[in-house]
Each structure stands twice: as structure tokens, then as C-alpha cells.
A and B are shown apart, each in its own frame.
Chain A
Amino acid sequence: MELSDNEFVARYRGGDSAAFAELARRWDRRVYALAYRVTGDAADAGDVRQQAFLRAQGALSTFNGQSTFATWMYRVVVNLCRDRLRSKEARNRHLGAMRARAEEADYGSPPSGREHERREVAAQVAEAVGSLPEAEREVVVLRHYQGLTFAQIAEVLGGPVSTVKSRMAKALALLRTRLKDVDG
């Protein structure tokens, strides 16, 4: 039977260094995807990815298990993303990069007409999500792309579930306005 994340944490704390490698393998894609969508920059996302696992490895010895590893890991990644975006330079880079990154995304063979339209829509969605205020963007990415429930998001971000739901509603309203001309 496959072990849970917390079980791997317990093994790692018990001296099994390979257990962390397994945790990292499980979480690598999720961490990068979250960081990419929140920061809007592949380079920033790569750095956040690296830092997140470094920080996780360093901190697991003091992980008290009060929250799940998932909640803890998401919180680490979100905080690292916030640090990235805090500088003005990063924010400017972020706003300009979201659309470009989505357009440049490698989907394999040269696009057909339909594929080109789909990429254009993806680029516009990326830009719209990237233009959201940071708090609303975090909720959208965690709920829609990472699949966390609103209760889990509240635990990651801190604060009541009602606040998370309000931010989601606000985010969807803003996105509706910014994507009103987009035909999916």
C-alpha cells in the first residue's frame, strides 16, 4: 500500500534520507505548477521550486505534524511566491510575462488553426489570471488548478473559509470582465 506524505515525513525524520526524495518526486510537478501560475514567470517558478524543497528538507526535522504535509508545503510555496513578487521589478516582469509565457508554451508540433486559437485563449487566460490582485490570484490557482478545497485553502493561507470564498467570487467577477471578449 502506498505511503502517505506524512508517513514519508515520519520515515525521513527517523533517518530514512530516501523518504525525502520520494516526497520531492511526488510534489515536484505540483510545486512548479503552483509557483508558475502565481508568479507568472518560469525562472521565478524554477527558483521557488528549488527553494521550496531546500526549505522543506531543512525544516522537516521540526515539522510538528499539526497540519498535513500538503498544507505545510503549499504554505511554503505560496510564501516563497509572495517574496518573489514583492519587489517592483518582479511585479513588472510578472505582469508582462504571463501572456508571453502562455504563448510560448511548448505544446509539441506546430499549431494548426484550431490549436493556434486555443493557445491564444490560453494566453489571454494566463494574462487575466496574472492581472488579478495577489490574494485573489492565489485562491484561483489553489482552487482551480491545484484542486484544493476552500477549507484547505483557508488552512494554507490562514483565515476563515468565508474570506477565501469571497476572494474566489471577486476573482471570478474580475476574470469575467477581463475575458468577456474571449470565446472558449
Chain B
Amino acid sequence: MNDQMNTSPSCDEVRQEIAALLYGELEAEMRAAVERHLDGCPSCRAEHAQQRQTMALLDHWLEPALPESPVAGVTKPEPAFPGRMRVFRLLRPLAYGAAAAVVLFGLLILLGAEARYRDGQITLTLGRGAPQADRHLDLLSDTQGAVQVRRLAGEECDQRIEELVGLLAEEFAELNRRQEQRQVLLARALDVQRARDRDTQMAALEVLARGVGRDSARQRRAIGNIYDLMDAGGVVPASHVEPQRKD
């Protein structure tokens, strides 16, 4: 039913406008035309009653309570907390180096760090809690995602890394890890970041991977992703052993 006044709309046209009538959206002339039709059409009148009844049932589903997590945390970094460190800027395009950063951040999150991503910088805070921890590890264990990153290069890789790191920053959750273990692995992670050449970086990655637990399938997949990354960089990890499934 178009905007021009239709003095005798068809049943199909009227039925499409019943919801708009019930929500009070129809212009005066169109409303009058629809109401005239309803007055003379029992079938459409019944449809009108049924739609109104259905809308009334929809009202029973109340608005969900807003979770506590403040939106202000999105715009402002959290205050200083023991273990907070300013980490790095995103690595610029070298496909494997950038991918290493993604895996690196993911591992840091395994350690219980919470990260916020803003304006190309990531701030890590250790020891903060967040709900739904397990779900957020799915990204880290996404083997397909890691392989996809490995194949990209240049600007495409940059963009993909931006997206992944941004997503990681949003998905982080605290795991139940000992503070001591977190500190050790964080130190190893920083070694990766500070490495001056690819060989040193890959060696530091292997050291980091050896320090990650293998208790869960997700952890094992995350480690597998690191080794895939090292393979792509032409480095054969000396200590690489296929993770054993714990059933």
C-alpha cells in the first residue's frame, strides 16, 4: 500500500497495514481507509483482533536487567592495579610477527590478564575478574582462524590483526590461575615482544608455549596454534610434541 490514499484497499494491502494501525503509525487518510475496510470485512477484522492479541502477549516479555559491567570501562582504562602494565602497540605488517602478537595476547589472557584495546594500544591488567571465562577462549583455540591469519600479508594482515586483537580485547576473561604462574608467563611473553630478530622471537615463543598448561583442550589448541605459527615462520620447535588428548 503506497503513500497515496487508496480509498478501497484490498485485503492483502490492509493486512500488511494492520500492525502499523495498531502501533498508531498510519497517516490520517490511510488510517481512515483501513478502518473503513475493517468495518466491512469480517476476515480482516478477525486478523486485526488476532494481531492485537499477539502484541499483547509480547508485552509479557519484560526488558532484561542490565548487567553490572559499566559501559564507562569501554571508554576509560581501569585504574592502576597490581600487575598492570602498558604493553605494546600493534606490530606493523610482517604477517607472522603480527600473528604472533595475536597468539601472544591470547596466551596472556589464558594467564588471567584482562586487556582493553583502544587507539592501537592495549593495556593489560592482571588479576581482574570477568564472567563467562571459558567461552572467550574459543577464539584462541580457533585453529582455522590461526591458519587464516598466517596466509595473509601486508594490509590485509594488518586489518585482520586489528580485528582479531580488537576482538580479543573484548573477549578476555580471567581464568583461575595462580598469580605466580601468571607472572612467570607474562615475563616470557614480554621476551617475545622484546625479541630483536625473528629467530629470537620464535625461540621465545617456544619457551612461552612450554610454560602454558595442557590441562584443557583449549589450552592444547592454543599451543598448537603457536606451533603452527612457528612452522609458518620456518622454525621447527625442538620441544614440539603433538598434544595428547585427555579423554
**Residues of chain B at the chain A interface (Cβ within 8 Å):** 1, 15-20, 23, 25, 50-51, 53-58, 60-67, 69, 71-72, 74-76, 117-118, 131-132, 135, 166-167, 169-171
Chain B residues whose C-beta falls within 8 Å of the C-beta of A169 in the assembled complex: 15-16, 18-19, 51
**A165:B75 contact, CB within 8 angstroms:** no
Q: Mark A119-141, 1 if CB is under 8 A from B, else 0.
A: 00110011001000000000010
**Are A29 and B72 also in contact (CB < 8 A) when A50-B170, A125-B60, A172-B55 are?**
no
Bound together, the chains give a CA A182 to CA B16 distance in angstroms of 24
**Are A105 and B58 also in contact (CB < 8 A) when A54-B166, A57-B74 are?**
no
A72 interface residue per 8 A CB criterion: no
Bound together, the chains give a CA A105 to CA B117 distance in angstroms of 32
**A126:B170 contact, CB within 8 angstroms:** no
**B71:A24 contact, CB within 8 angstroms:** yes
Count of A residues near B, CB < 8 Å? Answer: 50
**A24:B171 contact, CB within 8 angstroms:** no
Interface residues of A in 10-33 (CB under 8 A from B): 17, 20-21, 24-25, 28-29, 32-33
**A53:B16 contact, CB within 8 angstroms:** no
Bound together, the chains give a CA A161 to CA B53 distance in angstroms of 23
**Residues of chain A at the chain B interface (Cβ within 8 Å):** 17, 20-21, 24-25, 28-29, 32-33, 36-37, 42-43, 45-47, 49-51, 53-54, 57, 101-102, 105-107, 118, 121-122, 125-126, 129, 140, 143-145, 149-150, 162, 165-166, 168-169, 172, 175-176, 179, 182, 184
Pick from B67, B74, B135: contact of A24, CB under 8 Å: B74
Chain B residues whose C-beta falls within 8 Å of the C-beta of A21 in the assembled complex: 72, 75-76
Bound together, the chains give a CA A57 to CA B75 distance in angstroms of 8
What's the minimum C-beta distance from B238 to chain A, rounded to whole angstroms?
A: 36
Chain A residues whose C-beta falls within 8 Å of the C-beta of B135 in the assembled complex: 43
Chain A residues whose C-beta falls within 8 Å of the C-beta of B55 in the assembled complex: 144, 172
Q: A-B pairs with the 9 shortest C-beta distances? A: A125-B61, A53-B74, A24-B71, A184-B57, A121-B60, A28-B71, A36-B64, A168-B19, A122-B60
